[in-house]
Structure formats: structure tokens, C-alpha cells
Structure 1
């Protein structure tokens, strides 16, 4: 594994080739915005979730009468990516299906991830190439964790729009049929650990296309996710970070039948076709 650094006059970032994982964003005052990855809480920074987001029922799926095993969030985050293109302010990474991935996910693919700096923004572009001769099913998502160095209760989240903030609850890591609402008359949600006592908040559909972290009434960072239909928000109780996670897809439902092609939220990509989506992290 190596670490690739990018910079412009406003920000600098670092990306590990292992998992093509963003591990640092600093502004010109040298403030770090990414979670440090302390394993006492959570040993990651911003893993890429592919070819599934979340958990499969019994960690398995079936294809052509064969049983396959995929662990939580898929394998991309644990693979060494190849750096295929780099400039001072951009880098593109790639993995491709191989004999190891085909044992757990019997589809031929290439996944490219590009990081690009534009002023105070990091733009992250996902590209999935179907290299198979038939359709492939997949989900893809981001899992960036942002450092909250002050008291957790000093922070809040501003949704782009005032809307009904209904989220779905997890049940044993699977998407349940239970939903709850965050009760607020504005677009602002104060952060409390109580919100996350039952794990992540899963918003299957939002009107908002961005979410801003507010620190003691001052906006510090905004995640733009207009390409993504779903969003997860998560922390571990007691941990000094918040994850804002744009997703295509999410964990299996408790009623899942084990067919990836019929999985709720899944993308089915035609043979030889490409899929692209991007989100961005803006330092304010």
C-alpha cells in the first residue's frame, strides 16, 4: 500500500491505494476534516462500498443455483487499487475482477474511482464498467467519516431542504420494515448519540441533495450527493466522528430472497455498459 497526495492552493488530500480510501482532507490552515481511523472506535476513514452496500441476509446470495458469500460492504475496500492516472490535483484508481473476486461475485467488472480537487471541494467520481457478456447487479456507496473534535452535542446537520426526515431502522444489520422520523420544524438536526442507539439512519429517499455539518453554529463542511438516491448517517456511540454516506442500494431487507438481481436498490448494468455517479465534499 502507498499513499497518494493531491493539493491545490486551498486544500490537500491523501488517498490510500488500499481500497482507494480517502484518509485526509486539510484546509490551508492545516485543519484535518477526516476521521483519524482510531481502531478503538472504528479503524476506517472513508471505505468504498462495492459490489454491495451494507449486509446480505446470511452474508450470501444465489446465482445460477450456486451459493456465494459476500461480507458486509463488499470486497473493494480491502483490495489494492492501481493508480492509473495522476496530476497535481487529481488521481484515478482502478480494480478489476480476478480469480479471487469471481469466487465471491461471479461477474466481470472494472471499478474506477477518481478524486479531483476543485477550489475547496474534493469531487469523487465512481465508474463501473460491465466487462461481462450479460447483465451484472451491484450496489456502490461512500462511507466518509468526518472528525468532530469538539463535544458531539456541539454539532448539528443541516439538510438542504425542509422535509419529512423519515428513516428506516436496521434489524440485525438488515433493513427492517420499521421507520422513525426526526422531529424538527427546520432543516437542522442537532447531533446526539441517542439518535444512533439503533445503528445507522437509512434515508431511502431524500429531497435534499446536500448535507452540511454545523460546528457551534458555524458551517464547516458540506457533502453534495445529488446523483445518489439513498443516504446513510452513522456514528458509534461515544465516537468523535460522523459518517455521511451517499449510496446506491443498502443492506438486504429482512424479507430478501437472496437474488442480487431482485435486491432492493440494486443497479443492474447491461453488458459492456458503464455506470457513473459522483459526489463531493466541500470545505466551507
Structure 2
């Protein structure tokens, strides 16, 4: 954990750099404990440098981006942990779709849609990683950050809408589930979400579930056209999830400095 005394006495520039470094390394797939160990050690170096009246560049060089890249290249990617995350996210994505369809009372999935949903999720995760690293390594204005994050949120929505509207025109096998199957899947999915939440010690799946189900359910009572409901609902869903991820990273950094 980052030394509390040091972190509170560091300059704003140093604190911002540490926060950006944490985001960069996390987005690069590095191990959390190793990240915090490096942040802790770097905090000590920055504190000593500032105490001696030296600028931050004496510790990290004149290019924070190059320093982050160099540090990241020296660290191993936590493949095992991130593979678990990816599997959980993919299963979670299907779990959410199942719960959404339970609300609608009908379950039928084409192979085209299943494969497309997996691809969209993976592409979105990769895109998030790239964007977070870019934001962390570059000094951007808040307007630019918001614009970039807005585009990231819109990208999967666009793909989702394309798949949704092209699905009826693509010939592929369809899996249709009856009432008993729906109830069974609903129970199993609920247990899965609860089990994963307890295992991970986080309620992110429950929160994401809320962002996926509630917008669609609430919008269904508004009388808006179905296409409008889908686009608005998808925007709220992905935007809300992205906001939650950013808040989680910010809170993690705040707690780490305490």
C-alpha cells in the first residue's frame, strides 16, 4: 500500500503521475500486487526527490509515457488472472442476455448473434485497454478525455445495433429454449452471478446486471419505438458500465493512497 504520509505530501503532479501509472499498468494486464509494490516504491523516490527540491523528471525522465512503457515492458503480463477475468466477463455477458430474455419471456439465439456478441465483448475489452493506456500516458484536457470515452461507449453500441438489425437476414442455426429451460437457466444464472460476486468479493456483476436489465425494462414502459428503446438502452448500459469502471479505478487509487 502506498505510504499515507508520502502520498499526502506529494505534489499534485506526482500524485497525478502515480494515478496514471496505476491505470496504465492495470490496462496493460499487469498483476495488481506488483503494481501496488511499484507504486509504493516510486512514491518513496518521488518524495525524496521533492524533499531535495528536484522536479519529477529527475525520477521518471522527461517523457512519462516512455517511462510507463519501459516499466510495463519489464513486468510480466498476469495471463492467468486476466484469462479468468475474460472468461468471467464472457459468461457474465451471456448471463445478462439470459436474464434480459427472461424479462421478455422468450429465448432464442442464433449462432450468428452468439458469435457476434462474443466478438463485440472481446473487441470492447481490447479497445478499453488501449484507450485507458492512451489517456494515462498523455496529458489530455478533460474535454478530450470525455470525447474519447464517449466514442468508446458508442462503438459497441453501434456494433450491437448492427448485429441486432442484421440478425434476421443472416441464415444460421437457431437455439430456441422452452419454458422449463428458461426457468432452469434463470436459476443457474442467478447462482452463477451470486457465486462469482462472492468469489471476486465485488458486486460488479450485480451492478452491470442492473445497467443491462433496468434500462430495457423501464424504457419498455415509455411507449417509445422499439428501435429507439434499443439504442437508448444500449447507450445507457455501456455508458453506465464505463462510468462504473472509471469510478472503481479512481476509488482504488484513492484507497491505495490512504
**TM-score, normalised by the number of residues in structure 2:** 0.32
Higher strand residue share: 1
Of the two, which has the highest radius of gyration?
A: 2
Q: Comparing both structures, which one devotes a greater share of its residues to helix?
A: 2
TM-score, normalised to structure 1, is: 0.30
Tell me: higher relative CO, structure 1 or 2? Use CA pairs within 8 A at least 6 residues apart.
2
